[in-house]
Amino acid sequence: MLIWLGLISAWCTVRLPAVLSDHMVLQRNSAVKLWGWSAPAEQISVTATWDNHTYDTKADRNAKWEITIPTSDAGGPYEITFAAGNTIKLSDVLIGEVWVCSGQSNMEWSANHGYQNAEEEVKLADYPQLRLFKIPKSTAHFPQEDCAGAWKPCTPVSIQDFSAVGYFFGRHLQEQLEGVPIGLIQAAWGGTAAEVWTPEEVIDSDPEFSKWDEVLYTSDHWPRRPASTYHAMIHPITPFKVNGAIWYQGESNTGNALLYRRLFPAMIQSWRDAWDYPIPFYYVQIAPYRYGTPLQGALVRESQMLTMSKVRNTGMVVVSDIGNIYDIHPRNKQDVGKRLANWALARTYGKQDVTYAGPIYKAHSIESGQIRISFDHADNGLLSKDGPLTHFEIAGEDQIFFPADAKIEGNEVVVNAPYVLNPIAVRFAFTNTATPNFFNQEGLPASSFRTDDWPMIIKEIEVDIAYKKDAEAYLVSLSSEENVNEIKYTINGDPPGLFGLTYRQPFYISGPCTIKALAFADGRASDAQTIKEVKLNKATFKPITYNQMYAPGHAAGGKMALIDGVTGGKTYDDGKWQGFKGNDLSITLDFGQRIEIESVKLNALKDQDHGIFLPNKVLFEISNDGRRFVEIYRKPLFHAKDNQVEITPYEFEFKKPRKTQYVRISAENLGKHPAWHKHAGQTALLMVDEITIE
């Protein structure tokens, strides 16, 4: 009999979802749903201390129960008691404002990943009334009723692995709402496309959505199946009352950027349907970045801007001024969070003195060979930082775009170009990497835009350059896809669409120049122009032999990367630094004959935070026969802990010119991270770039 009573007691146990727990924040001045599981038909009593009222409900035949109760104005801490066959008491419950923080890696990015001034920010992250609920990465084939996670007060410990953008959003909200408690729910996963955050029925209802291409999402680090993260990370919290959502995603949809025009609004609406409330939805326009295909980033940004104009109660933060074209994870998360918060303060909370948006294209008119453009969010005027306006282009009926002169007149911009007498269309910052200088007077950047709706034609041109000893010049070959009808090019910087020569065969160049090339197909010029700046020295494009190979993931363009005339900057993944993981650098250049040289130079990058160390030593040698080499330069190095990112030149200059046919350059890899490094014992990276021989 005692065993049977014990089974009944266990069977009658009331349970709560993870999101209903100690330290949680409930939406203020609202009707919030509380829910859970118990025995079928069991009576559950709920008592909240903010009104000391007891509410009763009963579980249904599926052992589920729910009840909706009113909340007070902001305050707490309070307690909530759930009583049935057992009793659960939740303590330290606050009432305030609740927001969901979702998206891909730029939303997921935390102090553990590293962001601007992260160490100091973490030390100061002591906000007892800012509460955090992080949903672990998980997927499911079907909608789930619960997820893992626990509410935690914001402390220097709990903030370490929480969304930086979410944290700075919540912190600014709390400051401006005069201490109102803020609850943040993180549901983010790096690399994810919008499809995986969208309910299955929405994907299946649209033929284009349902034709998802697994190739676009192939990775071992994030899910690819549509609806999989929605099922596991969003659906379980949709009964929980929230006041809105912030979103940072889009980089992983550059492969289907035009479809994103419809997919993104459909996803937003599906969330609103799930919460049964038109939640405010504020999001970040993706930052400039060197995506592999021209214009794909610009097209996603366009889709995001169009969403704001078509979907009510949405807002978009522009970050073109605080991005990094060489890093898909810009480190300034503070301003991103603050700009999102300003949208919420102005549009959701009705703050009148908050500037929340930069110039957004509104309309244009054509007048006497120029185009006049007007903007929203420009009532106090516009401004250009650090010189005249940049990144404006105009086109005539031939649909070929040319750089335009642009000037501000009050709260409008007037553009024209000497090459376009009768302009009909304008584009602004419509490339993957554009970082324009156009702002409103309040200092917020303008969104990229285009006034045309012409179908995009993206035809890239490959530029191959090889040194030809017999001609003592460099042979340039241009190539493109099979269906390209014509290629036009210039080597003097002029626009190829107007002044270009028709490419018929490879041509020679003998000195530094800028090659511009434009493909024509289907009766139109490509929307993407190829520009190749050629800087030459005696090493450029000469025959090169590698004695040890570079790492496949850090090829920087391949065999010619070290002698292509393009120098890397202080960002290790800018596509210009060639990396050797564990291996040493050891290359030999063959000039084909003895030539006079005066100096040899190699650059190496130091970025210890990313596991990139300077070489143990660098060695330069010369030879006349390619077998016997004479050492001309050696520089060893002692490795000390240093958080600075620096480019170190290794350079030797002869007292008088020396003749040689071969130059061998060696740089010894550190091998393993030192004991003092955070990843001690892991394989070190040696990253080098441009070899210059004069």
Q: Single out the residue of 202, 290, 300 nearest to residue 250, CA to CA.
A: 300
User: Alpha-carbon distance 245 to 99, whole Å?
Assistant: 5
Confidence class of residue 469 from pLDDT cuts 50, 70 and 90?
confident
- Give pLDDT tens digits for 587-642: 999 999 999 999 999 999 999 988 999 999 999 999 999 999 999 999 988 778 88
What type of residue is 366? I
User: Alpha-carbon distance 52 to 591, whole Å?
Assistant: 88
548-558: buried (b, 16+ CB within 10 Å) or exposed (e) per residue? eebbeebebee
- Give the right CATH number for 544-693 from 3.40.50.720, 3.40.50.10860, 3.10.450.350, 2.60.120.1190: 2.60.120.1190
Q: Single out the residue of 244, 222, 235 nearest to residue 166, CA to CA.
A: 244
Is the dihedral angle over the CA atoms 365, 367, 371, 374 positive or is it negative?
Answer: negative
CA terminus-to-terminus distance, the chain: 96
- Give me the pLDDT at residue 6, please: 39
Confidence class of residue 567 from pLDDT cuts 50, 70 and 90?
confident
- Give me the pLDDT at residue 466, please: 86
Number of other CB atoms surrounding residue 418 within 10 Å: 10
> Tokens at residue 374, please?
């007007």
User: What is the distance, to the nearest Å, from the Cα of residue 293 to the centroid of all Cα atoms in its chain?
Assistant: 15
**230 DSSP 8-state letter:** I
- Give pLDDT tens digits for 502-537: 999 999 998 889 999 999 998 899 999 999 888 889
CA distances from 593 to 405, 547, 563, 582, 659 (A): 49, 21, 18, 33, 9
Given a contact cutoff of 8 angstroms between Cβ atoms, the answer to whether 144 and 199 are in contact is no
> Tokens at residue 688, please?
């080098």
User: Alpha-carbon distance 114 to 156, whole Å?
Assistant: 14
**496 DSSP 8-state letter:** H
- Give me the pLDDT at residue 638, please: 79
Report the predicted TM-score, pTM, of the whole model to 2 decimal places: 0.89
- Give me the pLDDT at residue 214, please: 54
- Give me the pLDDT at residue 3, please: 38
Given a contact cutoff of 8 angstroms between Cβ atoms, the answer to whether 444 and 318 are in contact is yes
Does residue 230 have a pLDDT over 80?
Answer: yes
The least confident of 240-249, 466-475, 576-585 is 466-475
Does residue 468 have a pLDDT over 50?
Answer: yes
- Give pLDDT tens digits for 341-389: 999 999 999 999 999 999 999 999 999 999 999 999 999 999 999 999 9
Confidence class of residue 678 from pLDDT cuts 50, 70 and 90?
confident
Given a contact cutoff of 8 angstroms between Cβ atoms, the answer to whether 623 and 662 are in contact is yes
| Measured torsion, CA atoms of residues 464, 468, 471, 476, in degrees rounded to the nearest 10 | 0
User: Alpha-carbon distance 40 to 64, whole Å?
Assistant: 7
User: Alpha-carbon distance 291 to 647, whole Å?
Assistant: 25
DSSP E strands: which ranges in 104-192?
127-134, 151-154, 182-188
Given a contact cutoff of 8 angstroms between Cβ atoms, the answer to whether 233 and 138 are in contact is yes
User: Alpha-carbon distance 265 to 267, whole Å?
Assistant: 5
Confidence class of residue 693 from pLDDT cuts 50, 70 and 90?
very high
User: Alpha-carbon distance 46 to 87, whole Å?
Assistant: 10
Number of other CB atoms surrounding residue 1 within 10 Å: 5
- Give pLDDT tens digits for 295-314: 999 999 999 999 999 999 99
Given a contact cutoff of 8 angstroms between Cβ atoms, the answer to whether 381 and 411 are in contact is yes
Rounded to the nearest 5 degrees, what angle is found at the Cα of 658, between the Cα atoms of 654 and 659? Answer: 155
Does CATH number 2.60.40 belong to domain 462-534?
A: yes
Within 8 A by CB and 6+ apart from 171, the residues are 127, 130, 337
Higher pLDDT, 498 or 278: 278
Given a contact cutoff of 8 angstroms between Cβ atoms, the answer to whether 248 and 336 are in contact is yes
The least confident of 3-12, 102-111, 632-641 is 3-12
User: Alpha-carbon distance 91 to 93, whole Å?
Assistant: 5
> Tokens at residue 316, please?
């978009």
What is the CATH architecture of 99-348? 3-Layer(aba) Sandwich (3.40)
> Tokens at residue 575, please?
């596509």
| Measured torsion, CA atoms of residues 412, 413, 414, 419, in degrees rounded to the nearest 10 | -160
Given a contact cutoff of 8 angstroms between Cβ atoms, the answer to whether 173 and 344 are in contact is yes
Number of other CB atoms surrounding residue 41 within 10 Å: 11
- Give me the pLDDT at residue 12, please: 56
Does residue 498 have a pLDDT over 90?
Answer: no
- Give me the pLDDT at residue 212, please: 61
Instruction: Give me the CATH code for the 2-96 domain, please.
Output: 2.60.40.10
Confidence class of residue 471 from pLDDT cuts 50, 70 and 90?
confident
What type of residue is 537? N
Average pLDDT, the chain: 93
> Tokens at residue 525, please?
């010029």
User: Alpha-carbon distance 45 to 453, whole Å?
Assistant: 59
User: Alpha-carbon distance 167 to 162, whole Å?
Assistant: 7
> Tokens at residue 442, please?
């309040």
Count CA atoms closer than 13 A to 517's CA, side-chain side: 24
Packing angle of the helix pair 333-343, 164-176 (nearest 10 deg): 50
The percent of residues in the chain predicted with pLDDT above 70, rounded, is 97
User: Alpha-carbon distance 479 to 506, whole Å?
Assistant: 10
Given a contact cutoff of 8 angstroms between Cβ atoms, the answer to whether 386 and 403 are in contact is no
CB burial class (10 A; 0-12, 13-18, 19+) of residue 379?
exposed
- Give me the pLDDT at residue 4, please: 35
Residues of the chain with CATH 2.60.40.10: 2-96
**536 DSSP 8-state letter:** -
What type of residue is 58? K
Does residue 7 have a pLDDT over 50?
Answer: no
Does residue 213 have a pLDDT over 80?
Answer: no
- Give me the pLDDT at residue 523, please: 83
For the chain, the C-alpha Rg in angstroms (whole number) is 30
Residues of the chain with CATH 2.60.120.1190: 544-693
- Give me the pLDDT at residue 573, please: 81
- Give pLDDT tens digits for 186-205: 999 999 999 999 999 999 99
Kind plus residue range of the DSSP H or E element containing 658: strand 646-667
Residue 148: strand, helix, or coil: coil
User: Alpha-carbon distance 461 to 486, whole Å?
Assistant: 11
The percent of residues in the chain predicted with pLDDT above 90, rounded, is 83
Given a contact cutoff of 8 angstroms between Cβ atoms, the answer to whether 283 and 314 are in contact is yes
User: Alpha-carbon distance 377 to 408, whole Å?
Assistant: 15
DSSP string, 31-80: EEEEEEE-STT-EEEEEETTTTEEEEEE--TTSEEEEEEE--SSEEEEEE
